[in-house]
Amino acid sequence: MSSWLAVLRKELAGYLIQPLGWVVLTLFLLVQGYAFYLFLAVPQAARATSAMQLFFGGTFFHWLFVIVVVATITMRSLAEERRSGTLETLMTAPVTELQVVLGKYVAAVAFYACLWLPTATYVLLVWLFAPPGALDLGPILSAYLGCLVIGAACISVGVLASALVRSQLVAALLCCVALASLLLAGLLEATITTSTARRVIHQLNLFAHMDDFARGVVDTRHLVLHGSLVVFCLTAAVLALGRRKWR
């Protein structure tokens, strides 16, 4: 087994063994389940498709909870290793900074995907009780893809924040501030008068990205943008680990 896969297995075991992982999973399902119930109860979302669009990023509540979850699952990835001194021990093993960062990142993304898997029961319930033809599975599948793509980009920001500091709390705060700033940047589109600047801001609008995914539109520009963010953040995290290694 390659080194990064060993790191991946260790991190996944940590998510499943430590109480924090189960607490996050429980709270995630409770909050998402209650939110889904509220969306079905809203008169404006009487149609099944409208309720699912609200559920998948249609409200600021969704993004707030995603930010908190991402910050929680990434804050310990590298910061805790450095604080406890285990990072130095890990780096003496036959493993590179890239393999450490990659293993921890993929483990966080896998755990994040596992958080969303049980929500497929919501889709099943809607499909069972909604009128025939009321639910289009195409937009649902693309919405899940959007959650994974945007979540993976957000997790890369959290891993970078954790690579820069020693404190889990500071890493979580840095992640929350960075993601909230990115989220709010898209809301500035309505205040921009220059057409070029408006187009640039529109490409950063996470609300618009998730709305496209929830409507069944998979725009390759969104995939490229979030993929580029992942590469940038993970590269910066590797450089941060390397810089501290030689101190």
212-219 mean pLDDT: 85
Number of structural domains in the chain: 1
Can you give the pLDDT at residue 63? Answer: 86
pLDDT digits (tens, 9 = 90+) for 148-191: 999 999 999 999 999 988 888 999 999 999 999 888 877 776 67
How many secondary structure helices (H) and strands (E) does the chain include?
13, 0
Residue 53, pLDDT above cutoff 80: no
Choose between 244 and 55: higher pLDDT.
Answer: 55
Rounded Cα distance, 14 and 233, in Å: 23
79 within 8 A of 244, measured Cβ to Cβ: no
Residue 212, pLDDT above cutoff 60: yes
Residue 136, pLDDT above cutoff 80: no
Position 30 confidence tier, pLDDT thresholds 50, 70, 90: confident
Can you give the pLDDT at residue 246? Answer: 44
Rounded Cα distance, 46 and 44, in Å: 6
User: If you average pLDDT over every residue of the chain, what do you get?
Assistant: 82
Can you give the pLDDT at residue 244? Answer: 56
Can you give the pLDDT at residue 231? Answer: 95
234-247 mean pLDDT: 76
Residue 79, pLDDT above cutoff 70: yes
Can you give the pLDDT at residue 44? Answer: 53
111-119 mean pLDDT: 91
Can you give the pLDDT at residue 73? Answer: 92
112-127 mean pLDDT: 86
Q: What percent of the chain has pLDDT over 90?
A: 26
Contacts with 201 (C-beta within 8 Å, 6 or more apart), sequence order: 185, 186, 188, 189, 192
For residue 75 the two structure tokens come to 């804050």
131 is in which domain, residue-wise?
Answer: 3-245
Residue 28, pLDDT above cutoff 80: yes
Angle at 118 between CA 115 and CA 120, to 5 degrees: 120
Can you give the pLDDT at residue 64? Answer: 85
